[in-house]
Amino acid sequence: MNDAGQHIEVYRQEAEELLVEIEATVLELEENPDDTESINKLFRAMHTIKGSGAMFGFDDIAGFTHHVETTLDMVRNGKIPVSKPLINLILASRDRINEMLDAASKGTEVNQATGESIIASLNALQPGKAPIPIQQKKEPASEIPIQDSEEESTYRIRFSPHPDLFLSGTEPSLILEELRNLGEATIIAQQNNIPALNDLHPESCYLYWDIILTTRKTMNEIKDVFIFVEDNCDLSINLLSDQQTPVEENEPKKIGEILLERKDVKPEDLHGILSNQKKIGELLVEAKIVSPNLVESALAEQKHLKQVSEKQKQKQAASSIRVPADKLDTLVDLVGEMVTAQARLNQKASELNNSDLTLITEEIERLVAGLRDNTMSLRMLQIGVTFSSFKRLVRDLSTELGKEIVLTTDGGETELDKTVIERLNDPLIHIIRNSIDHGIESPEVRKQAGKTAHGTINLSARHTGAHVAISISDDGAGLDTQVIRAKAMEKGLIVSDENLMDKEIFQFIFAPGFSTAKSVTDVSGRGVGMDVVKKNVESLRGTIEIESRKGEGTAITLKLPLTLAIIDGLMVNIGNDYFILPLSSVEECVELDRKKADKIKGRNILNVRGEVVPYVRLRDQFEIESEKPDLEHIVITEVNGERIGFVVDNVIGGHQTVIKSLGPAFKNIQDVSGATILGNGTVALILDVNKLAH
């Protein structure tokens, strides 16, 4: 990809991030219409999309966003109130920009009528103004309408780009041109930082500019010109004079004063020239206006503030870089291969029994473990970003269905592997749609039941050991066990005399095609597609639990592993075959004496400290015919809140497991979730404890 292509890709990534921020901010603004910071944040985001879009050739996006920006500018100036129609239009504009970005990346066209309709509606919100004619082409900077205030002010601006400004694709001349369009500007380019030719780097910016600007714009509007480069430059904007300044204070300043204010001359150098004059403190003491100790106190304060200021300047904010997801995935794969190679090295060092080699191997093992943990942390993302995206879903669907629903979130800072988050999106959407459509009642029904008119859906996340538990709860009608039981009997899933607990009855909604809804809606059906939800969650090696009370609400909890690439496993063997159990599911290991097992023959249960634990013989499950030992072991795991044991020949110990997929030839195998390569080159199967328990 050439440099231009890279810059365009950077713009797309930045725009997508800003669109996510815009959607979240609009929904916050809807809840708090008086929040000026949200309005300013929206304006800055739209301004950045517009300015960067014009710079990288996305003229249609820049032209469309200009109209949205104009409307938001009037909102923050109090000329347009925050209202439901405004919120709807900003959300529609956000979707329109996203659609235009997708079309640009795919090389397709967008429906122009949609954009024109949004612009016309935005214009209609402006008080006493006719609709703005729609520009099909890029609007030249000189044609951008300026909303004049009544008075002019003069500002001194120093714009000092960082050397790496050009690497972000920014063109300073466009910024300077935009400043010219704000009023009367005097611009001086400063060249004293340009190095000798041999030291000059062609991609670095060495110029900085001094601008004297007389304009009717406010200081905030001038700052908006620099919004999308403010983190990549040193910028100072000072008010020199305005029409409120007394005439005597508008007298031209002395050269020394100007140079000092602009920090182009050091005070000590100026004082050296003016050495005949005494310091202000000395003059004040001599005139007996203040005492010496007060001057010393003032000097101490000045020195302290100067030191604090210098420390703040030196302190740099945590830097970050954008890395394409495929590069990150490649890094994780390479680390996985390194973990496998390190296991082989351990095996060989153990066989050779060489002390020097053993020391080196242990050091490499420590470094690889650190590299593994650090690499996996790079893929960890806060799930709050995903939670925020559901606010729009809840808002739109509740409006469509005539319901009043509030979405609340907890634990958004909880981190989860990006791959898990991506694959978790669809199951969460389906569960939330079910809650909106069939879980939460209409306002009238809720009032009759003594509830508030508005329903609540809560999304929460928390860490539980090596897992993350994500809960989706609502205060709706809840699940009716009698209705579910009757439907299960109708489908032949149970017989009438079966005595089942509530949580066992709830599991029927995950059966394919199972639904208790009287009619299927366009949105969802409680139970329709829940089998797909369970399948997706289990493909992530997760579990799903349901708690519900009729008339009070339902809570669905997904328990998921932190990562899918490299896990800590427990290696066991049966005969000559090796297997891996996810260590996060293992609670303990106990011995199983053949004589004790024979006493309870026919019943695969074991008494563990007074608790009855059922177990599965993996030898029988996988039809392994080798002779079993007299003393077997049971690995006790926790699955869906229940303890269940798996009988193996021997427990070998912990194993750093790099998960490899089995490929399409083994796609129908139910009890195995993958495989890993051991240090001696043999393959060990990774067992799916959820499927085995089921």
Quick one: average pLDDT of 668-676?
Answer: 78
Comparing CA positions, the residue from 691, 555, 693 lying closest to residue 635 is: 693
Q: Contact 407/459 with Cβ under 8 angstroms?
A: yes
pLDDT band at 474, cuts 50/70/90?
very high
DSSP letters of 66-107?
Answer: HHHHHHHHHHHTTSS---HHHHHHHHHHHHHHHHHHHHHHHT
Helix (H, G, I), strand (E, B) or coil at 198: helix
Any idea which of 118-122, 303-307, 357-361, 394-398 has the lowest mean pLDDT?
A: 303-307
DSSP string, 28-44: HHHH-TT-HHHHHHHHH
Q: What is the pLDDT of residues 20-54, one digit of tens each?
A: 888 888 888 888 888 888 888 888 888 888 888 87
Domain segments of the chain: what residues? 3-139, 153-312, 325-379, 381-561, 566-693
Could you tell me which residues come within 8 angstroms of residue 258 by beta carbon, excluding any fewer than 6 positions away?
none
Check whether 161 has a pLDDT greater than 50: yes
Predicted local distance difference test score (pLDDT) of residue 473: 93
Residue 528 pLDDT greater than 60, yes or no? no
| pLDDT-wise least confident of 253-257, 401-405, 485-489 | 253-257
3-state secondary structure of 197: helix
- pLDDT tier, 248 (very low <50, low <70, confident <90, very high otherwise): very low
Q: What pLDDT band is residue 534 in, cutting at 50, 70 and 90? A: confident
Catalytic residues: 47, 69, 434
Please name which of 84, 85, 114, 82 lies closest in space to residue 98, comparing C-alpha atoms: 114
Phi, psi of 491 (to 5 degrees): -85, 0
d(CA 425, CA 387): 9
Lowest mean pLDDT among 95-109, 181-195, 446-460, 522-536: 522-536
- 89 Cβ contact partners less than 8 Å away, ≥ 6 residues apart: 71, 118, 121, 122, 125
Identify the burial level of 329 via C-beta atoms within 10 angstroms of its C-beta, where 0-12 means exposed, 13-18 middle and 19 or more buried: middle
Tens of pLDDT, residues 48-89: 888 888 777 788 888 899 889 888 988 888 888 888 889 989
Stronger pLDDT, 305 or 116, i.e. the higher one: 116
Name the pLDDT band for 136 (thresholds 50, 70, 90): very low
Q: Which helix (H) or strand (E) holds 590?
A: strand 586-593
Q: How far apart are CA 409 and CA 459, in angstroms?
A: 5
CB of 689 closer than 8 Å to CB of 579: no
Distance of CA 67 to the CA centre of its chain: 28
Residue 520 has pLDDT above 70, yes or no: no
pLDDT at 599 over 70: no
- Per cent of the chain over pLDDT 90 is 4
CA-CA distance, 246 to 254, in Å (whole number)? 18
**CA end-to-end span of the chain:** 50
Does this chain's domain 325-379 share its CATH topology with 566-693?
no
Task: Confirm or reject CATH 1.20.120.160 for domain 3-139, answering yes or no.
Answer: yes
**Nearest of 122, 142, 138 to residue 130 by alpha carbon:** 122
Instruction: Match domain 566-693 to its CATH number in 2.40.50.180, 3.40.50.11540, 1.10.730.10, 2.30.30.90.
Output: 2.40.50.180
Higher pLDDT, 302 or 230: 230
On whether the CB atoms of residues 581 and 692 are closer than 8 A, the answer is: no
Taking the domain 381-561, which CATH number applies? 3.30.565.10
CA distance 424 to 421: 5
DSSP 621-689: HTT--SPPPSEEEEEEEEETTEEEEEEESEEEEEEEEE-B---GGGTT-SSEEEEEE-TTS-EEEEE-H
Mean pLDDT in residue range 376-387: 82
| Among the ranges given (199-213, 426-440, 514-528), the one the predictor scored with the smallest mean pLDDT | 514-528
Place of tokens 């329903």: 455
Q: Which two tokens stand for residue 272?
A: 């050296």
Fold of 325-379: Helix Hairpins (1.10.287)
Look up residue 88 and give its two tokens: 């709807």
Q: Which candidate, 541, 581, 539, places its Cα nearest to that of 562?
A: 541
- 254 pLDDT exceeds 70? no
Q: Which residue has the tokens 């122009």?
A: 112
Residue 258: per-residue pLDDT: 62
Residue 588 pLDDT > 80, yes or no?
Answer: yes
pLDDT digits (tens, 9 = 90+) for 439-453: 899 889 999 988 898
Average confidence score pLDDT of the chain? 79
| DSSP notation for 217-275 | S-HHHHHHHTGGGGGGEEEEEEEEEETTS-GGGGSPPPHHHHHHHTTSS-HHHHHHHTT
- pLDDT digits 0-9 by tens, 316-336: 434 567 777 788 888 888 888
- Which residue carries 């041109």 as its tokens? 177
Higher pLDDT, 177 or 610: 177
pLDDT of residue 310: 54
* Rounded mean pLDDT, 610-634: 84
CA gap 224, 235 in Å, rounded: 12
> ∠648-654-578 over CA atoms, to 5°?
40
- Taking only the tens place, the pLDDT of each residue in 94-121 is 999 988 888 887 778 888 888 888 988 8
Q: How far apart are CA 418 and CA 456, in angstroms?
A: 27
Query: What burial class does residue 201 get, using C-beta atoms within 10 Å of its C-beta: 0-12 exposed, 13-18 middle, 19+ buried?
Result: exposed
